Amino acid sequence: MDQATLRFVIQLGIIGLTFFMLINASAALVLAERKIMGFMQQRYGPYLVGPHGILQPLADILKLLFKEELRPKDADKWLFTLAPIISVTAAFAAFAPVPWGAETTFGGLLDMPVKLGVADVNVAVMVVFAITSMGVYGIVLAGWSSNSKYSLLGGLRSSAQMISYELAYATALASVIMLAGSLSLREVVDAQDGFWFGFIPRWYVFLQPIGFLIYAIAGVAETNRAPFDFPEAEQELVAGYNTEYSSVRFALFPQAEYINMTTMAAVATDLYLGGWHGIPILDQWGLGWLWFLAKVGFILFAYIWIRWTVPRYRYDQLMQFGWKWLFPAAVLNLIATAAFVLYFNA
């Protein structure tokens, strides 16, 4: 096989592997959430299906597949089915520009190194932001097309929350872009290579601690996770925008939520935690992606940790916090970063 076809096949393989890993990530997160929730509440969590409950996600998916597909009679036929499709498509597509490993030649198999990641776009940060902002449509259409008051209220509140926290999210992103000087995620990661004083890695989280905090809070709010999950809280709005959904259409919504979490965690790792850099030995052997996985796993654990530790925000508190505290803090962070960059580059 000549180099061109081998390259093509390997790149297809990388795309397939990324997709496969994302699907497995959502399944693993289903189990991880319930086990970690259980351990935090001093109980075991799922325990019976498979050794230590490992096959629980499989059981959940089989159960959902065999349920009856309901659609309310007055629900809008096209939009009712389109909404979960938009949600899950946006969730998967948002991971496409995110790089998860350094360039590698697979130990000399290829002449030219291939980049580990689905696509390397020079405006990758904007692409991720654009596609996550398309995910709002899934929720708002789900709420509207269900033709039910709980769904409509939940959908409107969820989408208003998502578009409000997009501002703080984008401003925190802009601060990192200023430090790195490029919109390409791969270049942002490569700018965090190396060490200060020999042992502190040059991650942007040390240069932008407030920015990282803002990004983390906005990321949690964007994915509608606790403590910002009022619109889908069981005690408040039945189940919010996905009240009327069942079986496969329903299963797509939590899957979209978990994939969004994974994308946010991956982008946070690339922007603030140095991506796959940090352990020189792994970088040398081309195994930086293992360290990347570890960091993403840690952030996902933090997501679940926050959910089961902190009480939920009320909706108006949530919106006030987003507009009155988080967005001004993000703007001040941006101005401070701009001053810092000007001073040290002049």
Partner 1 sequence: MPDTVLFYVFSAVAVGASLLVIGQRNPMYSIMLLIASFGALSALYIQLDAPFVAMAQIIVYAGAIMVLFLFVVMLLNAPHEDAALWDRTHPLRRPGVSRFGAMLAVLLIVQLVWALLRVSDARAAVGERGDVAELTSVRTVGRVLFTDYMFAFEATSVLILVAMVGAVVLAAREDRR
Q: Which of 134, 141, 135, 93 is nearest to 242 (CA)?
A: 141
What burial class does residue 343 get, using C-beta atoms within 10 Å of its C-beta: 0-12 exposed, 13-18 middle, 19+ buried? exposed
Per-residue CA distances from 153 to 147, 223, 232, 238, 328 (Å): 11, 18, 10, 11, 28
User: What mask of x and - would describe binding to partner 1 in positions 160 to 199, judged by CB under 8 A?
Assistant: ---x-------------------x----------------
Selected from 81, 133, 246, 247, the binder of partner 1 by CB under 8 A is: 133
Binding residues for partner 1, total number by CB under 8 A: 24
Region label for 104, one of left (φ > 0), alpha (ψ between -120 and 50) or beta (otherwise): beta
Q: How far is the CB of 130 from partner 1 (least distance, A)?
A: 4
Closer to partner 1 at the Cβ: 43 or 73? Answer: 73
Q: How far is the CB of 206 from partner 1 (least distance, A)?
A: 26
Selected from 14, 21, 119, 134, the binder of partner 1 by CB under 8 A is: 134
CA distance 43 to 206: 36
Closer to partner 1 at the Cβ: 164 or 333? Answer: 164
Per-residue CA distances from 108 to 12, 111, 117, 285 (Å): 19, 7, 19, 12
Our finding on whether 11 is near partner 1 (CB under 8 A) is no
Our finding on whether 315 is near partner 1 (CB under 8 A) is no
Q: Which stretch binds partner 1 (CB under 8 A): 152-160, 186-194, 218-226, 260-268?
A: 152-160
Q: Which residues pair with 114 in a beta bridge?
A: 104
Our finding on whether 140 is near partner 1 (CB under 8 A) is yes
CA distance 80 to 78: 6
Pairing mode, strands 99-104 and 200-201: unpaired
Q: Are the CB atoms for 171 and 163 separated by under 8 Å?
A: no
Tokens 């916090």 found at: 321
Amino acid at 279: I
Our finding on whether 331 is near partner 1 (CB under 8 A) is no
Q: How far is the CB of 127 from partner 1 (least distance, A)?
A: 6
Tokens 């189990």 found at: 31
Closer to partner 1 at the Cβ: 121 or 304? Answer: 121
Selected from 144, 204, 230, 315, the binder of partner 1 by CB under 8 A is: 144
User: Could you give phi then psi for residue 99, rounded to 5 degrees?
Assistant: -85, 140
Q: Which stretch binds partner 1 (CB under 8 A): 61-69, 129-137, 188-196, 267-275?
A: 129-137
Q: Which stretch binds partner 1 (CB under 8 A): 2-10, 112-120, 127-135, 225-233?
A: 127-135
CA distance 292 to 312: 30
SS3 313: coil
User: What mask of x and - would describe binding to partner 1 in positions 95 to 124, judged by CB under 8 A?
Assistant: --------------------------xxx-
Q: Are the CB atoms for 313 and 46 separated by under 8 Å?
A: no
Our finding on whether 329 is near partner 1 (CB under 8 A) is no
Q: Which stretch binds partner 1 (CB under 8 A): 63-71, 76-84, 109-117, 202-210?
A: 76-84
Q: Which stretch binds partner 1 (CB under 8 A): 6-14, 71-79, 209-217, 241-249?
A: 71-79
Our finding on whether 223 is near partner 1 (CB under 8 A) is no
Sheet strands (E) in 82-203: 99-104, 114-117, 195-196, 200-201
Q: How far is the CB of 159 from partner 1 (least distance, A)?
A: 7
Binding site for partner 1 (CB under 8 A): 76, 78-79, 82, 121-123, 126-127, 129-131, 133-134, 136-137, 140-141, 144, 152, 156, 159, 163, 183
